[in-house]
Amino acid sequence: MLGVPLVAYLSLGLFMFSVGVVGVVVRRNPIVIFMCIELMLNSVNLTFLTFARFHSSVNPQTGLAAPSMMAGQMMVIFVMAVAAAEVAVGLGIIMAIFRLRHTVDIDEMNLLKG
Amino acid sequence: MENGFGSIAWVLYLPIIGFLIQAFFGKKVVDSMGIAAGRRVMGTLAVLPIALGFVIGLMLVLKLSAMEPAARSVVVPLFNWIDVMGLRLPFELIVDPLSMTMVLIITGIGALIHLYATGYMAEEPDYPRFFTYLNLFIASMLILVLGNNLALLFIGWEGVGVCSYLLIGFWYKDLANSKAANKAFIVNRIGDWGLTLGLFLIVALLTTSPSLVKADRYLSYDQMLPALQIALAHNHGLATAIALLLFVGACGKSAQFPLYLWLPDAMAGPTPVSALIHAATMVTSGVVLLNRMHIVFEMSPTASAIVAVIGAFTALFAALVAFGQTDIKKVLAYSTVSQLGFMFVACGAGGYWAGMFHVTTHAFFKALLFLGSGAVIHAMAHNQDMRNYGNLSKYLKITCWSMVIGWLAISGVYMFSGFYSKEAIIGTALANTHANIEGYQLGQYSGWTALFVAFLTAMYMTRMMVLTFFSGEERWRLIPAKAHADDHGHGTDIAHGNHLEAVHEHGHDHGPDVHGFFYTDEELHAMEHGDHDDHAHHELDETHQPHEVPPSMWFPLVCLAALSLFGGYFMSHNEVFRDWLYPEGKLPILGVVSAEAEHIPLVLYSSIAAFGGLIIGGLWYMRGLPKAEGWDESKWNPFRKLAGRQFGFDAAMVTTTVDGGAELGRGLWQGFDVKIVDGIVNGSAGLASYLGKGISWFQTGYIRMYALMMLFGGAGILGWFLYAMKHGGVR
Amino acid sequence: MGIVSVVTFLPMIGALLLMLVPEKQVKFVRAGALFTAVITFAASLFLLRNFSSNTFHFQMAEVLPWIPKWGINYRVGVDGISLWLILLSTFLMVIAIAFSYYVDKRVKSYMVLLLLLETAMLGVFVSMDMILFYTFFEFSLIPMWLLISAWGGERRMYAGLKFFIYTFAGSIFMLIGMIFLGYQYSTITGHYSFNIVDIQAAVANGSFWASAISLQPWVFWSFAIAFMVKCPVFPFHTWLPDAHVEAPTAGSVILAGILLKMGTYGFLRFCLPLFPETLPAQVPIIMMLAVVGIIYGAVVAAVQPDLKKLIAYSSVAHMGFILLGIFSLTHIGLMGGAMQQLNHGISTGALFLLVGLIYERRHTRQFKDFGGLKAQMPIFAALFLLIMLSSVGLPGTNGFIGEFMAMMGAFEASYRGSFGLTMAIPVIAGFGVVLAAVYLLYMFQQVFYGPNTNPENKRLKDLKPWEIGLVCSLLVFVFWGGLYPSTFLKPMESSIQAARLMAINPAGQRPSWEDDTQAIDLDGTVGDKGSLIAGQKIIAPGNLHLTEKLEPVGGTTLHAQRETGAR
């Protein structure tokens, strides 16, 4: 596993993140936007894991990473939980808006305009 | 400590019980027993507590007079009212000659007037309400005179003020009455302002004098008055200040210039009220206060002089105004103001007992005159204009002759009660030099003024009596058509028409009445209106035939006439009254104030004044109503016109204070509150929203814009981070 | 959970339970809310039973850790200053909720908000920790703001927002002041504490301000501004008429009855005991504003065309009397001010209730729509008259006791010339009493006297029995307070006296807050039941006057100098 260089992981993460950003900015369907956001979050997760793996030392006796070095992995779990919650709330809002306006086109919605 | 004087509490409790009965059960009893019987029961229940109180009071007076003169002061504690660190104001009653004199006047004359009122108000639909107020008034007045400290006096003081307010506005459907009531209460409050400040000044003085602070309940008279005497002994300025502040209070309640304004208007109340409150009892409480606190006044010749001068001026002013009045009750009102002025002349001159003496005799004859005028008004279909009377002696024999006694008494004819008290007042004022400012004997000038006013009194009272009872013609048969328009009864006519039709047309337009707030049409129809509106009285016109009043009304008249006739003689005989109020040694500073001015034949002078007034007045009016005082007021001579308007004083005061105050209020509200304060507040809010509007340009509402901005922001931060790292900014 | 917490959080629990009830069960919601309020009131009576008048310390205190690192804890208790305000809150809330029978729009939310408001108010009065106090102080804004904005009259949004922002802006300063106090405490002791008692103890022995004396006025005003807005004191009063006019009746009752008292309570709780050195310099300013408020409120009230507005402006005048009493710093004045807090709550609360009763019927509050109601609704008129007279300050009603004692205190302070006060203050304030009669009698005349000409008014029925009961329950306290005020005065006395001694005595002679056996003797002399600080006597003028100052001896010299120096 360590055969794959660090830069490859990071490149993949960067690629996924860029796709996500472009998707959020150009697409009009909120579902797709959600997927793009998810993509961005996952790219970040990937980066977290990569760094966690590459920077942690391994306990020679057990062959496992020291618990204090598990922060990256913990963060990923955390991000996933938040993402799930976000999707749940977001989809709920989209449903509500759809009921109200019978459209989910993002360009039709500017309720946040000041 | 009570020594068997505990029953004094019942004098106070009885009217309170009466008040509660009237308030809570009066209406029910009248409704359930039928109007006539119910009113008779409630009327009896109203008179009874007062009469019983009089009996108890009389027994206590006998008991008190059996005691040593110096020991005649008993304190009866009831309960602790205000009790905080350093100030204890117990609710306790004082039984001493001054308070008991007033108790007898209040309950005695009060009972008679209650009795009279059962007859006078017999047609009144709100019968129990009237007696509720009246009983409450008696209770408050008793607290005023019986309370053993100034704060209790103040309870009574304001209590009688409220009762007066309620009773003046008793016929509330006429807005003019309620305006008069408001005026009475508010003007009295100005007086109360002085009284409270005087009270505070006493508290502040006593509590900052180191030797006196530890005294418990130091506001109670038995502790306060001796303490004051010590504390003020070397501080005449303070004595003057306290005295004048208390006098402001007395001016308000006792209607002295310039706070007399409310009393003439107070005649809007029912006549028994005028007799009880605005002649016999409440208005004299200022004199009672001065008697109670006489130590302070005795220590300040300046304040005494001011009291005397104000008294004399008020007496003169009111007597002059009385000449311009056509309403019989207004004449009596101004005469009350004038007589109160006499009392203050006496108090100013140091003859406090003479003031109280006049309070007593005045209570007799002025109550008599008011009740008599009430009988006349009752007989004349509630018309109060003297120009419409004349020759009533033919119809109202008992009323007429008892009133004649009152008239002679107030005029100060020898042997009548008014003579003795007036002579005591004028004599005291002329004989003493207490009331002076830097040697100017203002007290004596006041005495001479009072003598002149005695002459005027006789004259305007003669005018009233002659125009009402004598002078040949029966003028209500001659009223010109125009004058009819000004007739005023209670002015309830407007309210009496219950315009049911109007209700039907408009109804209420607030949707369905889910909570049952309103009467339905059926309920309105079902309600009987007769009960409310049986007060209709016929107009005074040519066919009117006056009738003598019922016994419940003339009996009090006769009693009071007897008192007016003999009371003065018995009380001045051997100086009984003076020694009762102020036995030797009880006048600690001035000593015995002489009532006989040397070298002045006072009896002669006052007799000249009295008979002069009677004769001139009699000659003037015997031939009937003079043209110059007729129905057409534009033909009056300038003096009467001015007098009729109180020389413009009332109007000037009302314009400056009421209208000016309203202007000020509106100006402050619209100018300061709305423009300045809210201007600043809303202005700052406006500024914030203006700024917000500017910035909100970025706030397009499109999610992609926000995402893009986040992207730029993130990129910017990263860029700065890289830049900083490169240049060693971080770490 | 002690009794204090139970009382405080019962309404909130009730509110949470009510949230579970379906919106449509209107009757159940009403009954549930009323039940909660009554239970809370009953529980608060236990506070009264367990309360001891002999000590000025907090009683029935409870502590739970909250943010112990910063010395912030959940710390509640009751003392003489807060006792009656707690009972007033629970009592008025019963009245307010009972009256809310007439609310038929979004009943559930309305009741929930009222109950939450009750917890917030109670929290303010029971807090012994500054941050907790601040939390409740601000929390009380939200339900009230929603009540005004959702159930109010025509300009409700404006009024609600104005109310919220005005008070919020004011209390921000207070938060800064609180943080400073906590910080200052840490600099002298090494650890943070926001406990009022700790800080009072440090102030009492003089160590607290020793290193920051120049900051004292600033901190004082940071608190004072917050409370002046809340009271409100002229010229920060303009939110009050708007809020009152637009608020629903129950809101007005609570607003006038209790929310305003948070301001005066704050003065008693913070401004008096914590800033003794700067107080003499600030007293004249506050007294002057109080007097201006009394006259200003009265004059402006006299020209209002609207019942509620008139009463709102009269509140400005009445609150002026409370301040006048409190800042006279005499015992009688303070007692009067504290008493007047209760009286104003009862009388003005009752007045708003009565206005609400007529408003429910006629949907108007303009004087021009009324007139001659006395014949139509005699019981209503009689009740209104009695309540009005109590507001006028008639002797025999509660209004008199407070006003009289407060004025007496102010007069005494001026007479002694302490703090550079002049006699003009009580003399002018006295005119406020005259003016009170002017505007209130005018109001009564406009509504009840004269002919009943408006056909709409001719169909009006008199009050229903339960409405009469509601008003009479308030009326009982009007006369109780007026005829036997000792019931209310006694429990307050020790705590009020302690606050006063904190304010006027020099360091070292202030009440000891560490030693909770120390008591101030009610007999008048000096109380030393427990050990006193450094064995010195407290200058506890049992009589309301600083007698001792006349003969400065030994330890009292400093005090005397301050008194005379300020002249």
Question: Using a CB-CB distance cutoff of 8 angstroms, which residues of chain B are in contact with residue A114?
Answer: 692-693, 695-699, 701
Cβ–Cβ < 8 Å for C485, C84: no
pLDDT at C415: 87
Residue pairs spanning A and B at CB distance below 8 A: 37
pLDDT at B653: 79
Q: Is B703 on the interface with A (CB under 8 A)?
A: yes
Cβ–Cβ < 8 Å for C399, C343: yes
Q: Return the DSSP state at B537.
A: -
- The confidence band for B506, taking pLDDT boundaries of 50, 70 and 90, is very low
Question: Using a CB-CB distance cutoff of 8 angstroms, which residues of chain C are in contact with residue B185?
Answer: 437, 441
Residues C394, C395, C398, CA angle at the centre, nearest 5°? Answer: 80
> Which candidate, C108, C103, C150, C100, places its Cα nearest to that of C24?
C108
Question: Using a CB-CB distance cutoff of 8 angstroms, which residues of chain B are in contact with residue A21?
Answer: 707, 711
User: Which stretch of DSSP H or E encloses residue C144?
Assistant: helix C141-151
Q: Are residues B701 and A113, on separate chains, in Cβ contact within 8 Å?
A: yes
- Between B541 and C430, residue with greater pLDDT: C430
Using only the alpha carbons of chain C, give its radius of gyration: 23
Cβ–Cβ < 8 Å for C182, C71: yes
Cα(A36)–Cα(B707) distance, rounded to whole angstroms? 12
C and B touching (3 or more beta-carbon pairs closer than 8 Å): yes
Cα(B274)–Cα(B367) distance, rounded to whole angstroms? 8
Cβ–Cβ < 8 Å for C116, C13: no
Which residues does B670 contact at the CB level (< 8 Å), separation at least 6?
none
Structure tokens belonging to residue A103: 């459209």
Q: Which residue in chain A is spatially nearest to B698 when comparing CA positions?
A: A114
Distance in angstroms between the alpha carbons of the first and the last residue of chain A: 51
Cα(C114)–Cα(C96) distance, rounded to whole angstroms? 9
**Between C332, C451, C459, which is nearest B519 by CB?**
C459
Q: Return the DSSP state at B72.
A: -
Residue pairs spanning B and C at CB distance below 8 A: 212
Q: Are residues C545 and B207, on separate chains, in Cβ contact within 8 Å?
A: yes
Distance from CA of C378 to the nearest CA of B (A): 11
- The confidence band for B507, taking pLDDT boundaries of 50, 70 and 90, is very low
Q: Are residues B704 and A111, on separate chains, in Cβ contact within 8 Å?
A: no
**Between C335, C416, C441, which is nearest B186 by CB?**
C441
Cα(C461)–Cα(B518) distance, rounded to whole angstroms? 5
Question: Using a CB-CB distance cutoff of 8 angstroms, which residues of chain B are in contact with residue C543?
Answer: 85-87, 207, 213-214
Backbone region of residue B446 per phi and psi (left: phi > 0; alpha: psi in -120 to 50; beta: other values): alpha
Alpha helices in B582-628 (DSSP H): 602-621
pLDDT at C498: 86
pLDDT at C341: 92
Residues of chain C with pLDDT under 70: 515-567
- The confidence band for B597, taking pLDDT boundaries of 50, 70 and 90, is low
Cα–Cα distances in angstroms (integers) from residue C261 to residues B482, B519, C271, C291, C394, in the given order: 61, 40, 14, 18, 22
pLDDT reading at A38 higher than 80: yes
| Chains in contact with B via at least 3 Cβ–Cβ pairs below 8 Å | A, C
Residue C174 Cα to chain centre, angstroms: 17
Residue among B695, B696, B703, B710 with most chain A CBs within 10 A, to mutate? B703
In this structure, what are the phi and psi dihedrals at residue B469, rounded to the nearest 5 degrees?
Answer: -100, -30
**Between B696, B702, B707, which is nearest A107 by CB?**
B702
Quick one: CA dihedral A20, A24, A30, A34, positive or negative?
positive
Q: Which residue in chain A is spatially nearest to B692 when comparing CA positions?
A: A114
Structure tokens belonging to residue C156: 């409700």
Residue C332 Cα to chain centre, angstroms: 17
Q: Is B688 on the interface with A (CB under 8 A)?
A: no
Q: Are residues A110 and B700, on separate chains, in Cβ contact within 8 Å?
A: yes
**Between C395, C438, C543, which is nearest B86 by CB?**
C543
- Between A19 and B235, residue with greater pLDDT: A19
Across B550-559, average pLDDT: 86
Structure tokens belonging to residue C84: 């009656």
3-state secondary structure of B157: helix
- Between C513 and A32, residue with greater pLDDT: A32
Q: Are residues B200 and C412, on separate chains, in Cβ contact within 8 Å?
A: yes
Q: Return the DSSP state at B673.
A: I
Q: Is A114 on the interface with B (CB under 8 A)?
A: yes
> Which candidate, B333, B316, B194, places its Cα nearest to that of B257?
B316
- Looking at residue C89, its amino acid is S
Residue C546 Cα to chain centre, angstroms: 27
Q: Are residues B200 and C448, on separate chains, in Cβ contact within 8 Å?
A: no
Q: Are residues A114 and B704, on separate chains, in Cβ contact within 8 Å?
A: no
Q: Is B702 on the interface with A (CB under 8 A)?
A: yes
If you search the block for the tokens 């009698």, which residue do you land on? Answer: C441
Cα(C312)–Cα(C393) distance, rounded to whole angstroms? 17
User: Which stretch of DSSP H or E encloses residue C65?
Assistant: strand C59-67
User: Which stretch of DSSP H or E encloses residue B693?
Assistant: helix B678-695
Per DSSP (E only), the strands in C188-302 are none
Using only the alpha carbons of chain A, give its radius of gyration: 19
Structure tokens belonging to residue B668: 């402050």
- The confidence band for B545, taking pLDDT boundaries of 50, 70 and 90, is confident
Q: Are residues B174 and C450, on separate chains, in Cβ contact within 8 Å?
A: yes
Beta bridge partners of C306: C366
What is the per-residue pLDDT across B189-230, written as a single tens digit (0 to 9) for each? 999 999 999 999 988 888 776 655 555 677 888 888 888 888
Question: Using a CB-CB distance cutoff of 8 angstroms, which residues of chain B are in contact with residue A26?
Answer: 704
β-strand C59-67 against B87-95: which pairing, if any? unpaired
Q: Are residues B703 and A113, on separate chains, in Cβ contact within 8 Å?
A: no
Alpha helices in C484-536 (DSSP H): 486-504
Cα(B17)–Cα(A110) distance, rounded to whole angstroms? 75
Q: Which residue in chain C is spatially nearest to B199 when comparing CA positions?
A: C408
Q: Which residue in chain C is spatially nearest to B185 when comparing CA positions?
A: C437
Cα(B460)–Cα(B411) distance, rounded to whole angstroms? 9
Residue among C369, C427, C543 with most chain B CBs within 10 A, to mutate? C543
What is the per-residue pLDDT across B135-156, written as a single tens digit (0 to 9) for each? 999 999 999 999 988 889 999 9
B window 641-670, beta carbon within 8 A of C: 661-662, 664-666, 668-669
Question: Using a CB-CB distance cutoff of 8 angstroms, which residues of chain B are in contact with residue C428?
Answer: none
Q: Are residues B692 and A33, on separate chains, in Cβ contact within 8 Å?
A: no
**Per mean pLDDT, which of A62-71, B19-28, C313-322 is the most reliable?**
C313-322
CB hemisphere CA count around B596 (13 angstroms):
7
Question: Using a CB-CB distance cutoff of 8 angstroms, which residues of chain C are in contact with residue B175?
Answer: 445, 449-451
Helix H, strand E, coil C: the string for B344-386 is HHHHHHCCHHHHHHHHHHHHHHHHHHHHHHHHHHHHCCCCCEH
Quick one: CA dihedral B396, B398, B399, B402, positive or negative?
positive
Q: Are residues B704 and A106, on separate chains, in Cβ contact within 8 Å?
A: yes
B window 70-109, beta carbon within 8 A of C: 79-87
Beta bridge partners of B8: none
Question: Using a CB-CB distance cutoff of 8 angstroms, which residues of chain C are in contact with residue B157?
Answer: 395
Predicted structure pTM score: 0.85
Across A104-113, average pLDDT: 75
Question: Using a CB-CB distance cutoff of 8 angstroms, which residues of chain A are in contact with residue B702?
Answer: 106-107, 109-110
pLDDT at B504: 42
Question: Using a CB-CB distance cutoff of 8 angstroms, which residues of chain C are in contact with residue B85?
Answer: 331, 493, 497, 522, 524, 542-544
Structure tokens belonging to residue C33: 């809310």
Q: Which residue in chain C is spatially nearest to B521 when comparing CA positions?
A: C459
Cα(A21)–Cα(A25) distance, rounded to whole angstroms? 6
Lowest mean pLDDT among B116-125, B478-487, C448-457: B478-487
CB atoms under 10 Å from CB of C266, counted, come to 23
- Looking at residue B261, its amino acid is L
pLDDT at A68: 64
Cα(C507)–Cα(B78) distance, rounded to whole angstroms? 43
Q: Are residues A21 and B702, on separate chains, in Cβ contact within 8 Å?
A: no
Question: Using a CB-CB distance cutoff of 8 angstroms, which residues of chain B are in contact with residue A25?
Answer: 704, 707-708, 711
Distance from CA of B701 to the nearest CA of A (A): 4
Q: Is A112 on the interface with B (CB under 8 A)?
A: yes
Distance from CA of B712 to the nearest CA of A (A): 11
Cα(B411)–Cα(C101) distance, rounded to whole angstroms? 66
pLDDT at B692: 83
User: Which stretch of DSSP H or E encloses residue B75?
Assistant: strand B74-84
Which residues does C108 contact at the CB level (< 8 Å), separation at least 6?
C18, C19, C21, C23, C26, C29
- Looking at residue C427, its amino acid is V
pLDDT at B678: 81
What is the per-residue pLDDT across B65-116, written as a single tens digit (0 to 9) for each? 888 877 788 888 888 888 887 778 888 899 888 899 999 999 999 999 999 9
- Looking at residue B648, its amino acid is G
pLDDT reading at B237 higher than 60: yes
Cβ–Cβ < 8 Å for C327, C286: yes
What is the per-residue pLDDT across B284-308, written as a single tens digit (0 to 9) for each? 999 999 998 888 888 888 899 999 9
Mean of the per-residue pLDDT values of chain B: 82
**Between B699, B702, B711, which is nearest A114 by CB?**
B699
Structure tokens belonging to residue C541: 């003028």
Cβ–Cβ < 8 Å for C397, C474: no
Q: Are residues B699 and A21, on separate chains, in Cβ contact within 8 Å?
A: no
